[in-house]
A and B are shown apart, each in its own frame.
Chain A
């Protein structure tokens, strides 16, 4: 949402999570980065933003851009607090949303469950119309029947309506007309059509996407509107942009209609932050690793680009609701600082996925938690200073942590306390390594070629352990790792993603026809960018096609760069497809025919980026006042006397040899024996990992 075209002002980014609201600000005149962190205010989220802005020492009237990511969309969906929603769907298909894909992953569990629709069956209505797969009309739209259905919706007092018609990607005319009539008949109802969100085949997944959008729509729309109003009242007259699940930005106006695009804005922004660090450091490849209290997430930057995917499952796999829109490709495992360790009834040592959460929290919080967690293991091993956790706000109870580990793990398994703690840590680390493998090794990428950027409260604590496990040689801990998503938002660009299913064999493809579709999608993106008041420095368009071998189902995405596409170089495109297939799956079939399934276009409006400020420099030895003494820390089988350092007192050029702990407000970085951390000129801790896993 935009007002005047203003340039040169401060750019603000606010990331609202469940617990904290993080604010990052960049002042282009001074080149300074400012941060503010406040507790989220659940009943009035906007208050947290205003507090954060003043904590960061800036103000709305000075700002040019307000960038925002929030958990409101995903929480509304997961907590089921959305609008009373109806579904309007092609005749004969009212139940596909409930039927889903009929799979039963929990295969031996007679008490299995499946996804629960966001719309009850009584509010799913069939519309008389039908298209063929090719887009032709089999049965025309019965407008009278539609209008009488609208009357039913009115009786049922629905607040939102989702529209899904079969094959709308081939011909959206019916969906467009249904939308017009519903808006006419039911003013004030939030209306969403599937083709506006996804023009890709698979009716259940697209249906789930449009229903999710309608369901969260009224609430998210109100929320964005309220923020807009409030920041304008506070004197803001720049552009209000929202972060999407791709990490790209879109206008607040569009975010009020296409709410489902912002589901995973926070995690995506962390990957964008990683990409910004890569740019600043001249790196091409990096793993973005984010660990918090309940989960660990991994994303990847490959050849300078953040890898994205075309769909995701929201909620656990067994009961997930699919969302078929572009998203950052992030893999998540249920391991975090709060993950509980236990000995199962049959005698196995397990860590997670159950979490102690914030209440009662780990045993060491002293809030009555009796189960040992990953955080307790860290405390017992000396990796966390009991009196400096969260800047000393919580005093950690080492004895309580040790007692919980003894009682639940050490005694049943006949292990010493420290060995049991080390065991919990090792299991957690290998579980998180699976997330890193999922985004690298399993995509045909060698993790050893990547640096790992670690953030989130618990990321720096475990990063070097994971690096050892994966053969990663460099770990980077950014400044303020607990604010990293807000930092990342400052580096986002405007981004509009489009996809349209087009089934055609490469050999038979009419390139003029493909060109027409691609141009049409691009024009839509350019028009959106035109609406945003902050002009991008330049516009970048990328084209791609989802391709597969004839007869295959799953496709891979192949870049259609102009050097190949403009020359209609079928052989070149085929070769590139073979190479992508080979990289991803370790096999390809150059002699086989291929086909295009969907065309993809991404239109990006590149915004001017902050230049990350350089910090004060000095020599290799840190200042004496940065030293906080020594602690006993256990690495492998041995205890080491490790130096502990205050990160805020370190300056560029300082080198710290492991074993060491580097502490800051919300996290601690553990440097293992043999490793060395250097503070670079941007204030990052760059750890070279020399040792091998122990």
Chain B
């Protein structure tokens, strides 16, 4: 017999575990299919979850990994704001406070308390990205006030009655009020689904047994996390990386330094030496500082364990002093909150590589690589806000596997791009190409994944704003693997491409009818010495057009023709020099 102590019947615990995963799945699919904006319904930029009465995470549906803490911290703030005793059945609590969610004002976070008769037993919660929350459309922002409507913690619904005044305030402050109300309804559908199904589960197995089962599930998650942390050699591991700039002080590189300490079955991620908060809108709140640590930790210790719950993080300590770029304080601008944290997560992997090279990964493109558009659609005469992407880029290679090409960055999970046929039917655009970028993956014994290029022609004048990072500070290789190509954004005016921009932040670009822009995502870094890559694999990469004949020769020491026919003797000779 194991020495594990169970609070309740392991059979019921497993049924409850499957049950909460199914509930968050259903919340997710209901939100996705009823939402009004492409960011929710195609990009799936949202997260749903179930939480205990104290705001601990029970289960989060597959959404944005980087929002792993946002809902729990929001619920805790709401509990503190109102006091548990003042939260009533039929209430729905709302906020988009960026310093609580740790993200931006576009993330409207609704929570529904779940009551078993008069007792609060949990919360169903839903965060979703609204395409517009007011504020300035184009350009950089340097404080939160220019980013749109701030909704403090409020009761959107009080004991079953909607506060229409709040609805009116929202409608008066957003550019697309109909869409916003559609998204709002979809979010309410998601949380009421969560409430109903959770009550069914409690009705079936009893309040106490469900609570005990959840406690056992969290203990099991903790046990798994501890066992896997224990398998990492003790030590202090450090790494650094850089961001291009903050969009205000152009080309002024911003340092990211992390220190990871492993001691027995505990890990500490210290983000004290991450850069201080910046003037441009790349800041995020302390919630995201903790999320960075948790995402990296989960990737290393419990990547495929579900449900995602707070038990998995009990042996993780994150040190995040206030005022850093991932713990910014008011009135720091937060609109592109998600960009820097991705590189922090990658930097944690880089730090841990000497200790566990078989469990980490080389750097990835680490950006949404999105172009935001707005204009008037001549077909309908309606104002629109649209976006191109997420383009999907390269992921890093690993010690024994090539990197994956054309996949969303670590901020996003089950996030989808938009079909060209859909974009062209909805907006005055013509997609000229959507293609893999040859040679964009870092060379290595295992090659990094490839990035993509997406070229978009305007069929009517429009405004582009692109906030893309990591053009100069490229996705890094590990253990002798080479760096990948970085991200970029370029413009074509009257047939002439212009590519020599200082960064990939084109924040106010007017695109005339017939002109075009292209967003290009970077690749993933390589892993290991490229000269150690099996020559036939390099030749095969050349045949497929992933690697050019020139790069094969230059980076891998492999001589072959474009059809992938290997010249073994020339290769041998080249590789031995």
A408-437: which have CB < 8 Å to B? 411-415, 422-423, 426-427, 430-431, 434, 437
Interface residues of A in 493-539 (CB under 8 A from B): 503
Decide if B283 is an interface residue (CB 8 Å cutoff): no
Asked if A60 CB lies within 8 Å of chain B CBs, one says no
Taken together as a complex, chains A and B put the C-alpha atoms of A96 and B433 apart, in Å, by 9
> Are A92 and B398 in contact, with the CB atoms below 8 A?
no
How many A-B pairs have beta carbons closer than 8 Å: the answer is 223
Cα separation A332 to B422 with both chains bound (whole Å): 29
A567 CB within 8 Å of chain B: no
* A581, closest chain B residue (CB): B34
Residues of B with C-beta under 8 A to A100: 406
Instruction: Report whether B41 and A554 are in contact in the complex, using a CB–CB cutoff of 8 Å.
Output: yes
Which residue of A99, A108, A413 contacts B392 across the interface (Cβ within 8 Å)? Answer: A99
Question: Quick one: given A93-B420, A346-B223, A414-B1, are A437 and B406 in contact (CB under 8 Å)?
Answer: no
Q: Given B298, B407, B424, B564, which contacts A114 in the complex, CB threshold below 8 Å?
A: B407
> Which residues of chain B are within 8 angstroms of A92 by Cβ–Cβ distance?
431-435, 455
Interface residue ranges of A286-336 to B (CB < 8 Å): none
From known contacts A108-B295, A108-B303, A346-B224, infer whether A553 and B436 are also in contact, taking CB-CB under 8 Å: no
Q: Is the C-beta of A120 less than 8 angstroms from some C-beta in chain B?
A: yes
Give the shortest distance, in Å, between A418 (CB) and chain B (any CB). 13
Q: Which residues of A contact B391 (CB under 8 A)?
A: 102
Residues of B within 8 A of A415 (CB): 10
| Inter-chain contact A426/B15, CB cutoff 8 Å | yes
Which of B29, B360, B413, B543 is within 8 Å of A104, CB to CB?
Answer: B413
Query: Is B13 a contact of A589 with CB atoms below 8 Å?
Result: no
- The answer, among B19, B36, B193, B304, for a CB contact under 8 Å with A430, is B19
From residue B1, how far is it (CB to closest CB) to chain A in Å? 5
Checking B41, B404, B436 against A552 with a beta-carbon cut-off of 8 angstroms, the contacting residue is B41
Partner pick for B419 among A109, A202, A412, A693, CB 8 A cutoff? A202
Within 8 A of B (CB), among A190-241: 201-205
Find out whether the CB atom of A166 lies under 8 angstroms from the CB atom of B299.
no
Q: How far is it, in angstroms, between the C-alpha of A510 and the C-alpha of B233 when the chains are bound?
A: 70
Are A552 and B390 neighbours in the complex by a CB distance under 8 Å? no
Cα A132 to Cα B221 in complex, Å, equals: 52
Complex-state Cα separation, A589 to B299, whole angstroms: 41
Cα separation A442 to B4 with both chains bound (whole Å): 36
Q: With both chains docked as a complex, state the minimum distance between the C-beta of B140 and any C-beta of chain A, in angstroms.
A: 27
The residue of chain B having its C-beta at the shortest distance from the C-beta of A91 within the complex is: B433
Interface string of B421-465 (1 = CB under 8 A from A): 110110000111111100000000000000010010000000000
Contact B65 A99 (CB under 8 A): no
Q: Do A110 and B419 contact each other (CB < 8 Å), given the known contacts A412-B1, A586-B193?
A: no
Q: Which of A120, A167, A346, A551 contacts B37 (CB 8 A)?
A: A551
User: With A102-B390, A442-B26, A592-B182 known to touch, is A121 a contact of B189 (CB < 8 Å)?
Assistant: no
Residues A101 and B224 in contact, CB atoms below 8 Å apart = no
Are B14 and A101 in contact, with the CB atoms below 8 A? Answer: no
The residue from B186, B404, B413 contacting A107, defined by CB atoms under 8 A apart? B413
- Pair B434/A434 contact, Cβ less than 8 Å: no
Q: Which of B11, B22, B295 contacts A349 (CB 8 A)?
A: B11
Q: Using Cβ atoms and an 8 Å threshold, which residues of chain B touch A431?
A: 18
Alpha-carbon distance between A638 and B144 when the two chains are bound, in angstroms: 65
Once A103-B413, A111-B398, A426-B15 are accepted as A-B contacts, the answer to whether A411 and B1 lie under 8 Å apart by CB is yes
Residue on B nearest A425 in the bound complex, by CB: B11
Flag if A102 contacts B416 (CB, 8 Å).
Answer: yes
On whether the beta carbons of A201 and B34 are closer than 8 Å, the reply is: no
- CB-CB nearest in chain B for A551: B36
A572 CB–B CB distance under 8 Å: no
CA distance A430 to B359 in the complex (A): 34
Interface size class of B (residues with CB under 8 A): 35 or more
Please state if B10 and A349 are interface contacts (CB–CB under 8 Å): yes
The answer to whether B273 has its CB under 8 Å from any CB of chain A is no
**Contact indicator B436/A201 (Cβ below 8 Å):** no
Q: Does A121 contact B546, Cβ atoms closer than 8 Å?
A: yes
Question: Are B392 and A102 closer than 8 Å at their CB atoms?
Answer: yes
* Contact partner, B65, options A107, A167, A349, A422, Cβ 8 Å: A107
**Given A94-B435, A121-B544, A348 contacting B398 (CB threshold 8 A):** no
Q: Are B299 and A110 in contact (CB under 8 A)?
A: yes
CB 8 Å contact bits of A76-118 with B (1 = contact, 0 = none) = 0000000000000001111110111111111111111110000
CA of A108 to CA of B406, assembled, Å: 17
Please give the distance in Å from B295's CB to the nearest CB on chain A.
Answer: 7
Least CB distance, A206 to chain B, in whole angstroms: 8
Most B Cβ at <10 Å: residue of A111, A112, A423: A111
Q: Are A437 and B22 in contact (CB under 8 A)?
A: yes
Within 8 Å CB of A105, what residues of B? Answer: 62, 413-414
Hey, which chain A residues are within 8 Å of B303, CB to CB? 106, 108-111
Q: Which residues of B contact A43 (CB under 8 A)?
A: none
Say yes or no for B415: interface residue by CB 8 A criterion. Answer: yes
A350 at the interface (CB under 8 A from B): yes
Pick the most buried of A99, A344, A549, A589: most chain B CB atoms within 10 A of its CB.
A99
A351 sits at the interface (CB 8 A): yes
- Nearest CB of chain A from residue B69's CB, rounded to whole Å: 14
Chain B residues near A437 (CB-CB < 8 A): 22
Distance (Å) between the CB of B220 and the closest chain A CB?
4
Tell me which residues across on chain B come within 8 A of A103, comparing CB atoms: 44, 407-408, 413-416
Please, how many angstroms separate the alpha-carbon atoms of A472 and B38 in the complex?
A: 38
The reply to whether B14 and A427 contact each other, CB–CB distance below 8 Å, is yes
Residue on B nearest A422 in the bound complex, by CB: B11
In the bound complex, CA of A391 to CA of B18 (Å): 35
Tell me the residues in window 351-410 of chain B with beta carbons closer than 8 Å to chain A beta carbons: 359-361, 390-392, 398, 401, 404-408
Partner of A122 from the list B182, B405, B419, B543 (CB cut-off 8 Å) is B543
Closest chain A residue, CB of each to CB of B425:
A133
Q: Specify which chain B residues have a CB less than 8 angstroms from the CB of A422 in the assembled complex.
A: 11
- Measured CA separation A422–B435 after assembly (Å): 54
A344 to B220, CA, bound (A): 9
Given contacts A167-B421, A204-B419, A552-B182, contact A110 B1 (CB under 8 A): no
- Decide yes or no whether B172 CB sits under 8 A from chain A: no
Asked if A99 and B436 make an inter-chain contact with CB atoms under 8 angstroms apart, the answer reads yes
- In the assembled complex, the CB of B453 is this many whole angstroms from the nearest CB of chain A, namely 9
Q: A107-B62, A108-B295, A412-B2 are in contact. Are A202 and B430 (CB under 8 A)?
A: no
In the assembled complex, A280 has its CB within 8 A of some CB on chain B = no
* Distance between B186 CB and nearest chain A CB, rounded to angstroms: 8
Q: Is B185 an interface residue (CB 8 A)?
A: yes
How many angstroms from the CA of A585 to the CA of B189 in the assembled complex? 7
Residues of A within 8 A of B392 (CB): 99, 102
Known: A431-B18, A586-B192. A348 touches B417 (CB 8 A): no
Contact check, B452 vs A132: say whether CB atoms are below 8 A apart: no
Q: Given A99, A346, A693, which contacts B220 in the complex, CB threshold below 8 Å? A: A346
Q: Are B544 and A201 interface neighbours, CB within 8 A? A: no
Q: Complex: how many Å from CA A122 to CA B26? A: 40
For A166, list chain B residues within 8 Å (CB).
420-421
Q: Which chain A residues lie closer than 8 Å to B414 at the CB level?
A: 103-105, 107
| Separation of A346 and B229 alpha carbons in the complex (Å) | 13
CA A552 to CA B31, docked complex, whole Å: 11
| B415 in contact with A167 (CB, 8 Å) | no
Within 8 Å of chain A (Cβ to Cβ): is B33? yes
Chain A residues with Cβ under 8 A from B32's Cβ?
554
| List of A residues within 8 angstroms of B178 by Cβ | 550-551, 592
Rounded to whole angstroms, the CA-CA distance of A550 and B349 in the bound complex is: 44
- A187 contacts partner chain B, Cβ-Cβ < 8 Å: no
C-alpha gap A121/B435 in the complex (Å): 11
- Decide yes or no: A427 and B420 within 8 Å by CB, A92-B435, A104-B414, A585-B30 being known contacts: no
Q: List 12 A-B contacts (CB under 8 A).
A: A103-B408, A205-B419, A345-B224, A346-B227, A349-B11, A413-B10, A423-B11, A437-B22, A551-B178, A581-B34, A586-B193, A592-B178
Please provide the 8 A-B residue pairs with the shortest distance between their CB atoms, ordered closest to farther: A102-B392, A92-B433, A107-B413, A423-B11, A553-B41, A133-B424, A346-B224, A201-B421
11 additional A-B residue pairs with CB within 8 Å, beyond A111-B401, A587-B185: A93-B420, A105-B62, A121-B544, A167-B421, A201-B422, A201-B425, A346-B227, A412-B2, A423-B10, A585-B30, A586-B30
